[in-house]
Structure 1
Amino acid sequence: MKASPIPQFHLYGEQESFADPGFVHIETIESRSRRNLWEISPHRHERLDQLLILRAGSVRARIDMDEQVLSGTVAIYVPAMMVHGFHFGEDVDGDVLTFSPELGRSVLPAHYPVQLFPGQALMLRLTDCQAAAIDPLIEQLRLECSGHDGGRIAAAGWIVALTLLHVERARALSGETAEASLESARQQQFRALVDTHFAAQRPVSFYAERMGLTEKTLTRMCRARFGCAPKQYLHRRLLLEAQRMLIYGSATIAEIAEELGFADPSYFTRFYRRMTGRLPSEHREGLPVH
C-alpha cells in the first residue's frame, strides 16, 4: 500500500502542477490566508521556491523541523520540496513571491560568487533600511506580473534575483549561517541527486558514478562540505523525509517504511532509533516550538 503523501500544491490549495522555468507569482499574504482562517497547513511545492516578506503583524512559521514565532519586518525563504506551514495574525501585512528557481538564476552571470538559491530555509528579521530597499522591488514585480508588456518574464527574473540579493545581504549582516550559499556546482549536483534517489537507498558508488567522481573524491567533498561521509549524508536525508512523513502525513509506520525503501518495518524502526534515539511513533505528535 502506498503511503499517504504530504500535501503538495502548485500554489497553496491548487493541485495543478507544471514545469515552467519562467513561472513567477505574487500576492498579498492576506489574500490567501484570510480565506483559510489565517492558517496555511503544512505542505510543499515540488518545483517552486517561495519568499515571504512581512512588513507588520505576526506569524507562527514551521519549516520542516523548525518552528518559530516572528513579528514585525521579516523575510522567510522556503526552497522547493521543503515542508512548511504558517499561522498568521489577522494584522499581517506582507507579500508572498512564488517562483521557479530557474527564473532568477537565468539572469545571473555564470561567475557570480553568491548563490542566491541556497537550498535551505531562512527566517530572518529585517531592519527598516533593509525593508525599504526591498519594498520598491516588490511593487515593481507586482506591476510586471499584472501587466502584459514585452519582456515581463525577463524583468520578473531580474527583480526576483535582486530581491534575493537584498535578502542575502541582510542575512550576511545578521550573522545568520547560510553554508549552502557557497556550494560548488558538484556539491549542488550531489544534493540534487540525493533528493531524487534517496528513497531507492542506492549505494555511494551510484552517486560517484553519476557525478564522474571516485568514491574517495566524493567522500572528501562530503566531509569538507557536510561534515560527514556520503553514506551518513544519505542516512540524514532519509531520516529527514521520515520525520516529514511522520509529522505532516497520515501514513502508518509500515507504509512509511515501504515508501522509503525498507524491506521490513522493523528495519525502519531500528534505523530510526539508531539515528534519533527515539521510536518513530514518538515523533507522531511533532516537535515543540523553539
Structure 2
Amino acid sequence: MSRASNIPHFGLYGESSWINDPEFFHIEDIESRSGHLGWKINPHRHAQLFQILILKSGEAKVQLDEQQYKLQGAWAIIVPAGVVHGFRFAPDTDGRVISIAEPLLEDAYKEKAAKFIQPLLSQACYIDFNDHRNVFSELWPLIQQLESESAFIREGRGLMSEYLIKAILLLLYRQHANGKVGSANKTESSHAQWLKELIEKHYREHWTSDQYAQALGTSTSRLNRLCKTTFNQSVLDLIHDRILVEAKRSLIYTVRSVEEISYDLGFKDPGYFSRFFKRSTGLPPGKFRTLSNQPSI
C-alpha cells in the first residue's frame, strides 16, 4: 500500500477540486467510476461529502478506516464525511454511489425527519437487504428516480432531489433500526447527536466533559448518564475514541512521524500521546503502524 504525506481528500473520487455548491449531490453507477480503474477505489476520504453506496448485486471488499469487510448481494454502505474508505468490487457489480454535500442535509436537523436522518450521518455502517428484498424493492425505484433527476434539467429538480434523498435515508434508517424504537426520547436523542457533532469540532482541542456539558446547557453527570444510555460509554470514552480513530488513520495512511501526529491531535507531549495510544490499543504507535502496513484491498 503506497502512502502519501496526507490521507487523500477528494470532491468525488479522483477529482481533487471541491465542488463548492451547498446543494450539490451526485449519483453514478459503480462501474462508471471504478470499472476503468480495475474495479478498485483506493483508500481516501471526503471532507464535506456524505456518501451512500447501494449494492444491488455482486460483491465488494470494503475498507472503512482500519476495518475490512466482504459483502455480497444487496447492501447499503453509509460513509459519513471524514471516514477513510476504499473498495474492490467484483467485475459487473451492480450498484449506485450517491454523494451529498453536507449542507444539503443540514435543514434536516430542524425538521421532523431529524431523529431518523441524523443517526445515519455520524457513523459508518452497513445495512443488509439480502433477506429483505421486499424493502429493497421499495428503495431501488427511489434510487432510479434520483438518477433520472440527476440526468435532466427540469423545473423543481433540486427540490425533487432533496425529497428523494430524504426518502432514501428514511428507508435506510427503517432497515437499519429493524423496527426497534430507541429508548431515548426526542430531547435526549438531540443532545446525543449534538454531543457527537461538538466532539467532531473540538476533539483536537481536548475539551473536557465539563466543557461539552456547558456547551449543551446541561450538567456533566446528566450528560454522562445520557451517553451511557445512548452509547454505553462515558463522555470521556467518546472523546478518546474519536482521537484514537484519527490517530489510527494518520498512522496507517500517512508517513508523518508519531511526534507530528501527536501535535496535530492536540497533544503537547508526544510521550503522553504514545502512552495514551498504547493504553487504548495495547500497542505503541510505531508497532501499530508496522502491523497495519499490509496490502490494501
Smaller-chain TM-score bracket: 0.7 to 0.9
The corresponding residue for 1:265 is: 270
Within-5 A mapping of 1:243-282:
243-282=248-287
**Alpha-carbon distance in structure 1 between the residues aligned to 2:239 and 2:102:** 24
8 Å contact kept, 1:59–1:70? yes
Structure 2 length-normalised TM: 0.86
**Alpha-carbon distance in structure 1 between the residues aligned to 2:108 and 2:177:** 22
Alignment pair present for 1:146 and 2:151: yes
Segments of structure 2 that go 5 or more residues without pairing to the other structure are none
Q: Give the share of equivalent positions with the same residue, in percent.
A: 36
**Cα distance, 1:179 vs structure 2:** 9.8
Q: Secondary structure at the match of 2:250?
A: helix
**Cα distance, 1:287 vs structure 2:** 8.9
8 Å contact kept, 2:277–2:284? yes
8 Å contact kept, 2:263–2:270? yes
Structure 1 residues 212 and 114: CA distance shift in structure 2, 3 A: closer
**Alpha-carbon distance in structure 2 between the residues aligned to 1:168 and 1:21:** 23
Identify which of 123, 128, 133 aligns with 1:125: 128
What letter matches 1:67 in structure 2?
Q
**Cα distance, 1:102 vs structure 2:** 4.5
**Cα distance, 1:104 vs structure 2:** 5.0
**Cα distance, 1:33 vs structure 2:** 0.8
The corresponding residue for 1:86 is: 87
User: Runs of 4+ in structure 1 displaced over 6 angstroms?
Assistant: 177-183
**Alpha-carbon distance in structure 2 between the residues aligned to 1:189 and 1:149:** 36
Q: Secondary structure at the match of 2:134?
A: helix
**Alpha-carbon distance in structure 2 between the residues aligned to 1:251 and 1:33:** 29
The corresponding residue for 2:99 is: 98
Listed one character per residue, the Cα deviations across residues 6-40 of structure 1 (whole Å, up to 9, x for unaligned) are 21111111122255332210011111112322211
**Cα distance, 1:59 vs structure 2:** 0.6
**Alpha-carbon distance in structure 2 between the residues aligned to 1:283 and 1:96:** 32
Listed one character per residue, the Cα deviations across residues 245-282 of structure 1 (whole Å, up to 9, x for unaligned) are 11222222121111111222211111111111111123
The corresponding residue for 1:286 is: 292
RMSD (Å), alpha carbons: 2.8
Structure 1 length-normalised TM: 0.88
Q: Secondary structure at the match of 2:116?
A: coil
Q: Secondary structure at the match of 1:90?
A: coil
What letter matches 2:256 in structure 1?
A
Structure 1 residues 114 and 228: CA distance shift in structure 2, 3 A: closer
**Alpha-carbon distance in structure 2 between the residues aligned to 1:7 and 1:266:** 27
8 Å contact kept, 2:75–2:127? yes
8 Å contact kept, 1:64–1:84? yes
Q: Secondary structure at the match of 1:212?
A: coil
**Cα distance, 1:197 vs structure 2:** 1.1
8 Å contact kept, 2:116–2:170? no
8 Å contact kept, 1:22–1:103? yes
**Alpha-carbon distance in structure 2 between the residues aligned to 1:232 and 1:256:** 20
Structure 1 residues 128 and 215: CA distance shift in structure 2, 3 A: closer
